[in-house]
């Protein structure tokens, strides 16, 4: 089986390039085309079983989260394009099989090669690149599956999605009572503290709150307090989509189960996941443990607090979101940086003083200000170090100091922002209330 390797002549891409050219810089459209083509030509590997394996870029593994976000821009191009639709279905089928194989793993190998991020990890499964359990790793394939259906109306993937959703719901319910019910452990001897879980691999102690526990953040760094707020809200949104598709498939039991868990997660984050800031009023914490501890910060990786309208069905006009947005886009947020080249959110995953293009794109995509969107698009172009590619991060004063020369997730976020800026994005088709 072969899949498309270019969208240069795609009518929607051509229209997007035309509209971007009208903004005054031909690099807007050129970078859009380059980013979309690069993902198709270089990251996707057709597999003998008809699925598609998607590397994240310069690491030869498939992340459940990254591969979902890498496909998101193509939702805008799916109408009347059966080949692209089949590609996304092949990616979804691969994700469903990976979750069935190990729902606690975040990244997988293409074959049972035994290749792993660290061969000394507790998990010795040859299919698994890394078994860092992250709530968002299970949420993003469900989000992509629902959005694919919303855009195309196709239901080829729905049986597989609903089976996968049952597995996901079971894991999330187990991890609502992590201390008592979970057998998951992760220890890594060789690496920084953020690469392993304390307490014999169990993680820091948490109280039962109704939220679902996560070992690691979307950055692949260990959670400080166990309950990651944006991941829980993203999970609730994924369950919303699951409930809708289950009702469409006349699976009333699954629809009810998904809707009930979504309500539990939202109610729990409302009770335990917000704090009162002295200047801003109620805002979302980034992480809590249910024992009174909270991390007030944001991380550039999605799902983060800034990205809640994109991943959690939270309106951009929501008062708590707006207050949180003011927090995370300011010096109050310890990961926010301002330099001579740019300002934006970074991550403890990379060096101090670094800004992530993903976060710049998210800032534009979640803004109701056209000028802010344009500034985000312009900043992404001006900080690519002349490579024509987005990077994992760059130094706030010198974009030539960057991490990861090939990071397909960041390229996808540029493409999403560019398409959305000229009115060709897909969010109106699947997003409700924002």
pLDDT at 431: 61
Q: CA of 150: how far to CAs of 76, 155, 236, 428, in Å? A: 11, 10, 18, 10
- Is 390 a member of any domain? no
**What are residue 52's phi and psi, to 5 degrees?**
-125, 125
Q: What is the model's pLDDT at position 429?
A: 59
174 inside domain: yes
CB atoms within 10 A of CB 406: 19
The answer as to whether 12 is a domain residue is no
Domain-embedded: residue 141: yes
Handedness of CA 186, 191, 195, 197 (dihedral sign): positive
Tell me how far apart the alpha carbons of residues 100 and 102 are, in angstroms, rounded to a whole number.
6
pTM: 0.97
pLDDT of residue 428: 60
Q: Find all residues with CB under 8 Å of 394, minimum gap 6, and list them.
A: 341, 342, 354, 355, 357, 383, 385, 400, 401, 402, 403
User: Helices 158-174 and 252-272, interaxial angle, to 10°?
Assistant: 40
pLDDT of residue 1: 72
Name, in order, each residue with C-beta under 8 angstroms of 326's C-beta and a sequence gap of 6 or more: 280
* Distance between CA atoms of residues 311 and 113, nearest Å: 33
DSSP H stretches of helix in 153-289: 158-174, 178-181, 229-248, 252-272
Q: Which two tokens stand for residue 22?
A: 């009208």
Which pLDDT value is given to residue 398? 98
- Indicate the burial class of 58 (C-beta count within 10 angstroms; 0-12, 13-18, 19 or more): exposed
Residue 78 burial (CB < 10 Å; 0-12/13-18/19+)? buried
The helix or strand, by DSSP H or E, that contains position 136, with its residue range, turns out to be: helix 135-152
304 in a structural domain:
yes
CA distance 421 to 405: 25
Burial (CB < 10 A; 0-12, 13-18, 19+), residue 341, is middle
Q: In this structure, is residue 265 part of a structural domain?
A: yes
Looking at 306-426, list the stretches that DSSP marks H as alpha helix, in order from N- to C-terminal side: 308-311, 319-328, 357-365, 370-382, 408-421
Which structure tokens are listed for 49? 């079983």
In the sheet with 287-288, reading across from the earlier edge strand, the strands are 227-228, 287-288, 294-295
Q: Tokens for 344? A: 């934006």
User: In terms of C-beta density within 10 A (0-12 exposed, 13-18 middle, 19 or more buried), how is residue 167 classed?
Assistant: middle
pLDDT tens column, 66-86: 999 999 999 999 999 999 999
The low-confidence residues of the chain, meaning pLDDT below 50, are 432-434
How far out from the chain centre does Cα 235 lie?
Answer: 11
Q: Domain of 291?
A: 59-77+102-330
Inside any domain, residue 26: no
Q: How many domains does the chain have?
A: 1
Q: In this structure, is residue 247 part of a structural domain?
A: yes
What CATH number is given to the structural domain containing 307?
1.50.10.10
pLDDT digits (tens, 9 = 90+) for 140-170: 999 999 999 999 999 999 999 999 999 999 9
> Do 63 and 134 touch, CB atoms closer than 8 A?
no
Report yes or no: 181 and 262 within 8 Å, Cβ to Cβ: no
């Amino acid at each position: 089986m072969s899949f498309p390797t270019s969208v240069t002549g795609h009518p929607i891409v051509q229209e997007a390039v035309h509209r971007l050219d009208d903004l005054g810089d031909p690099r807007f459209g050129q970078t859009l085309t380059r980013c979309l083509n690069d993902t198709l030509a270089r990251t996707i590997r057709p597999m003998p079983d008809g699925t598609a394996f998607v590397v994240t870029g310069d690491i030869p593994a498939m992340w459940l989260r990254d591969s979902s976000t890498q496909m998101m821009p193509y939702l805008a191009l799916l109408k009347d394009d059966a080949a692209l639709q089949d590609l996304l279905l092949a990616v979804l089928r691969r994700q469903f099989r990976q979750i069935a194989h190990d729902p606690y793993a975040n990244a997988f190998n293409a074959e049972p090669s035994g290749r792993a991020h660290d061969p000394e990890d507790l998990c010795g499964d040859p299919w698994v690149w890394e078994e860092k359990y992250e709530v968002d790793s299970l949420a993003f394939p469900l989000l992509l599956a629902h959005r694919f259906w919303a855009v195309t109306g196709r239901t080829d993937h729905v049986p597989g999605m609903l089976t996968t959703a049952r597995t996901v719901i079971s894991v999330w319910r187990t991890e609502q009572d992590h201390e008592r019910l979970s057998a998951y452990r992760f220890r890594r001897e060789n690496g920084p503290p953020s690469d392993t879980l304390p307490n014999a691999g169990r993680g820091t102690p948490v109280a039962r709150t109704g939220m679902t526990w996560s070992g690691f953040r979307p950055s692949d760094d260990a959670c400080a307090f166990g309950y990651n707020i944006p991941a829980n809200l993203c999970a609730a949104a994924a369950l919303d989509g699951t409930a809708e598709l289950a009702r469409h498939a006349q699976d009333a039991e699954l629809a009810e189960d998904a809707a009930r868990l979504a309500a539990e997660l939202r109610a729990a984050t409302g009770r335990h996941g917000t704090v009162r800031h002295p200047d801003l009023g109620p805002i979302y914490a980034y992480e809590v443990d249910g024992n009174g501890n909270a991390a007030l910060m944001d991380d550039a990786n999605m799902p983060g607090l800034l990205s809640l309208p994109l991943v959690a069905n939270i309106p951009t006009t929501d008062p708590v979101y707006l207050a949180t947005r003011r927090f995370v886009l300011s010096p109050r947020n310890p990961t926010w940086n301002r330099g001579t080249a740019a300002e934006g959110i970074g991550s403890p995953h990379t060096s101090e003083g670094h800004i992530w293009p993903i976060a710049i794109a998210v800032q534009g995509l979640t803004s109701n200000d056209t000028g802010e969107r344009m500034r985000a698009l312009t900043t992404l172009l001006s900080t690519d170090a002349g490579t024509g590619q987005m990077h994992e991060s760059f130094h706030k004063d010198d974009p030539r100091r960057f991490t990861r020369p090939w990071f397909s997730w960041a390229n996808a976020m540029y493409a999403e922002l560019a398409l959305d800026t000229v009115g060709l994005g897909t969010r109106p088709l699947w997003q409700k209330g924002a």
